[in-house]
Every structure is written in C-alpha cells, then in structure tokens.
Amino acid sequence: MADWEIWVVIGVLCVATAATRSAFWMIGHRVTIPPRVQEMLRYAPACALAAIIGPDFLIDTQGEVQFTLANPKLLAGVAAFAFYLWRRNMLLTILFGMLVFTALRVLHVFGAAG
C-alpha cells in the first residue's frame, strides 16, 4: 500500500473506534433499552473478557487448539488463576504467571513448545 493509503486506513480505523465506542455516549440517552436486555448486559463485561482471553490460552501460533499439558500458556493461566484466588493481588499474579510461563517455555517442562 502507498503511504497515503495507509493514512486513509488509519483514518478509517479511527472512525471505526469512534463509531463503536462513542456513538452510544452521543445518542444513548434518546434510546431506551428494554429491561430484559439491560439484565443481560450486566453479564457482558465478564463474557467479553472471557472471549478475548480464551483463544490466547488455548490456540497456538499455528491456529491449532492446544488443550494439553504441553501448552505453557494454559498451564501458566491455570496457575495464575489459582494464585489470584489465593492472594487477590493482580500485579503479583501477572508476575507469577509470567514466571511460570517463562519457566515452562525455557525448561521445556511437559515438552512445552515455545
């Protein structure tokens, strides 16, 4: 792509962000959401976060599902989850999870493939 085309793409992505993030803030008070949908939306943040991280834990760089002990991200994720339930401290959990992930990866525990 030419330089100007990439700048057009950046502009278009900017519009896509504004349209999805800001539109409701601009016009939302003129729209009434049915109570049932509001009830359902309460679960949206948790479900959205799960949908974002699900593939990070389970799908490898080749796009294959890795539901095995050889998947360092899955094991480190389970370890971090347990650690968070125990200590309830996010920063420590991130450091602990990265440590487990890196150890599994470098030491090839369970035949972990980078």
Residues that bind another protein (CB under 8 A): 1, 3, 5-26, 28-29, 33, 39-59, 63, 65, 73, 76-77, 80-81, 84-85, 89-91, 93-94, 97-98, 101-102, 105, 114
> Smallest distance from the beta carbon of 109 to another protein, in angstroms?
15
Nearer to another protein, 7 or 69 (CB): 7
Nearer to another protein, 70 or 84 (CB): 84
Beta carbons within 8 Å of 60's beta carbon, 6+ residues apart: 66, 71, 113
Return the structure tokens found at 47. Answer: 């479900």
> Smallest distance from the beta carbon of 85 to another protein, in angstroms?
7
Contact 83, 96 (CB under 8 A): yes
Residue 59 bridge partners (DSSP): 65
- Among positive and negative, which fits the CA dihedral 81, 82, 83, 84? positive
How far apart CA 19 and CA 25 sit, in angstroms, is 10
Residue 65 bridge partners (DSSP): 59
> Smallest distance from the beta carbon of 17 to another protein, in angstroms?
5
Nearer to another protein, 48 or 69 (CB): 48
> Smallest distance from the beta carbon of 29 to another protein, in angstroms?
4
